[in-house]
């Protein structure tokens, strides 16, 4: 019996020992899990602090670059925005200048409709714009606040209806022309050539040094037309553009040339009016007397000429639209100063070229 009791006691001690080991293992596992959780929290926090530090370095490095042309800040601000992925407004003041710009979020950089996402600023104050899918000259001109002719004049042999994605265009900051300095020319000579004051030319070219004009350098001439296109504004000798303009509506063409190089074409009110040639809609007035014109539209054409369509009952286009030859733009009406039983007719006026519909 003593041997049996002894064995039984030893067995009970073994069970207690294994039970102790089981409980101790559970405790170790719990402690390990707790330690790993704490480690993960600390590790993630450290990574976040490192990320903020790197972003700060990137922003600070962008501030160290202080170009004279504000547009050159774009690549740095965009890079910082792409890294931070956070839309914020930032203003920094340096020792001699204040630089203000907007950091946009990463999603905006992927928006191909954003005109700023495809531009390259130059030191001459110009912009090289890369054409995007779906672009047309009307949209580009509207985005930059300049006329369509400004783009056409700055880009030789540009065809308005054949723009290709990736094609690079020179864009001026204001409406006007880009002039190449000729040998021996002075700022006064250029001013006289375009009948633009020297001060206006200087204002459009802040980096210009009049005493050091370099042959072949570019100068922006604001609100000017190319000298070789000045004939389009001559009243005495207007160019004849055979086949360029199509008859803008149907009806009885009186064919009598009257004030401002215009003819009247009579028909019932509401008869469609079409663009005589392709171009940019420059002006649209949808109400008022307007010096007798009533409701009217003005279209600027790539060759520098303009056409005016007046006395309309309704206009179907807006300023900035680029229309093609034959596009419906308005309807005949009798608004403004009109005569006759109904007064319904189109006043078709041509500026910068002969009116081809005189008799």
Is 120 within a domain?
no
Q: Residues 2, 88: one domain?
A: yes
Domain C-terminal end among 67, 84, 110 = 110
Euclidean distance between CA atoms 307 and 325, whole angstroms: 12
Crossing angle of helices 74-84 and 2-63, in 10° steps, is 170
Specify the pLDDT at position 85: 36
Euclidean distance between CA atoms 125 and 173, whole angstroms: 7
Strand runs labelled E in the chain: 88-93, 98-103, 119-121, 127-130, 168-171, 176-180, 218-222, 252-253, 262-266, 272-274, 279-285, 295-300, 306-312, 314-315, 322-323, 328-331, 345-351
Q: Residues 9, 105: one domain?
A: yes
Domain C-terminal end among 57, 88, 110 = 110
Specify the pLDDT at position 355: 93
CA distances from 173 to 116, 204, 211, 358 (A): 13, 8, 24, 39
User: Residue 257 sits in a domain of what CATH number?
Assistant: 2.70.70.10
Euclidean distance between CA atoms 29 and 50, whole angstroms: 32
Euclidean distance between CA atoms 73 and 90, whole angstroms: 12
Specify the pLDDT at position 23: 62
pLDDT (tens, 9 = 90+) of the chain, 359 residues, equals 566 666 566 656 655 555 655 566 666 667 777 787 777 777 767 666 665 544 444 444 444 433 333 333 333 333 333 333 333 333 333 444 333 333 333 333 333 444 455 777 666 667 889 888 888 887 788 888 888 888 888 887 777 667 888 888 888 888 888 888 888 888 898 988 888 898 999 888 888 888 888 887 888 999 887 765 433 333 445 788 889 999 999 999 988 888 778 999 999 999 999 999 999 998 999 999 888 899 999 999 988 889 999 999 999 999 989 999 999 999 999 998 887 677 899 999 998 899 999 98
- Domain tally, the chain: 3
* Torsion angle defined by CA atoms of residues 274, 279, 280 and 286, in that order, rounded to the nearest 10 degrees: -20
Q: Residues 10, 82: one domain?
A: yes
Is 134 within a domain?
no
- pTM beyond cutoff 0.85: no
Is 69 within a domain?
yes
Specify the pLDDT at position 323: 93
- DSSP letters along 191-234, please? HHHHT--HHHHHHH-TT--GGGPPTT-EEEEET---GGGGGGG-
Specify the pLDDT at position 342: 79
Domain C-terminal end among 84, 110, 136 = 110
Specify the pLDDT at position 275: 97
Q: Residues 105, 194: one domain?
A: no
Is 159 within a domain?
no
- Tokens 């009970």 belong to residue: 12
Euclidean distance between CA atoms 78 and 16, whole angstroms: 69
Euclidean distance between CA atoms 298 and 294, whole angstroms: 13
List the one residue out of 159, 172, 188 whose CA is nearest residue 278. Answer: 159
Is 358 within a domain?
no
Q: Residues 307, 218: one domain?
A: no
Specify the pLDDT at position 124: 64
The token pair at 38 is: 């704490």
Is 117 within a domain?
no
Q: Residues 285, 185: one domain?
A: no
Q: Residues 278, 320: one domain?
A: yes
User: Residue 210 sits in a domain of what CATH number?
Assistant: 3.10.350.10
Instruction: State the number of CA atoms in the 13 A half-sphere of 358 facing the CB.
Output: 15
Specify the pLDDT at position 64: 40
Q: Residues 320, 276: one domain?
A: yes
* Domain span including residue 197: 176-224
Give residues with Cβ within 8 angstroms of 125, minimum separation 6: 69, 173, 204, 205, 206, 207, 220
What's the angle, vertex CA 129, arms to CA 98 and CA 215, rounded to 5?
Answer: 80
Is 206 within a domain?
yes
Is 194 within a domain?
yes
List the one residue out of 352, 348, 303 whose CA is nearest residue 148. Answer: 303
The token pair at 339 is: 């005569």
């Amino acid at each position: 019996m003593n041997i049996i009791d002894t064995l039984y006691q030893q067995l009970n001690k073994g069970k207690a020992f294994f039970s102790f080991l089981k409980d101790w293992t559970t405790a170790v596992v719990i402690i390990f899990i707790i330690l790993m959780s704490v480690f993960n929290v600390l590790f993630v926090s450290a990574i976040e602090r490192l990320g903020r530090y790197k972003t700060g370095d990137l922003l600070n490095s962008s501030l160290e670059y202080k170009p004279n042309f504000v547009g050159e800040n774009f690549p740095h601000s965009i890079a910082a925005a792409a890294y931070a992925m956070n839309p914020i407004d930032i203003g920094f003041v340096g020792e001699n200048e204040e630089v203000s710009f907007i950091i946009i979020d990463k999603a905006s950089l992927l928006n191909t409709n954003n005109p700023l996402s495809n531009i390259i600023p130059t030191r001459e104050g110009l912009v090289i714009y890369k054409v995007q899918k779906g672009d047309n000259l009307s949209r580009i001109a509207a985005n930059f606040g300049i006329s369509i002719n400004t783009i056409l004049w700055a880009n030789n042999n540009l065809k308005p209806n054949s723009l290709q994605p990736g094609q690079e265009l020179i864009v001026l900051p204001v409406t006007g022309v880009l002039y190449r300095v000729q040998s021996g020319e002075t700022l006064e000579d250029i001013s006289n050539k375009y009948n633009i004051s020297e001060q206006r030319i200087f204002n459009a070219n802040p980096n210009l040094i009049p005493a050091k004009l370099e042959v072949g350098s570019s100068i922006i001439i604001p609100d000017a037309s190319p000298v070789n296109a000045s004939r389009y504004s001559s009243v005495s000798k207007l160019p004849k553009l055979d086949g360029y303009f199509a008859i803008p509506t149907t009806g009885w063409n009186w064919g009598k040339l009257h004030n401002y190089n215009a003819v009247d074409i009579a028909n019932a009110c509401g008869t469609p009016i079409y663009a005589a040639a392709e171009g940019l809609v420059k002006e649209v007035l949808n109400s008022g007397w307007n010096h007798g014109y009533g409701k009217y539209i003005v279209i600027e054409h790539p060759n520098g000429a303009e056409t005016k369509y007046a006395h309309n009952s309704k206009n179907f286009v807006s300023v900035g639209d680029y229309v093609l030859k034959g596009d419906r733009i308005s309807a005949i009406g009798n608004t403004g100063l009109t005569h006759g039983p109904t007064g319904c007719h189109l006043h078709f006026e041509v500026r910068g070229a002969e009116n081809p519909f005189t008799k």
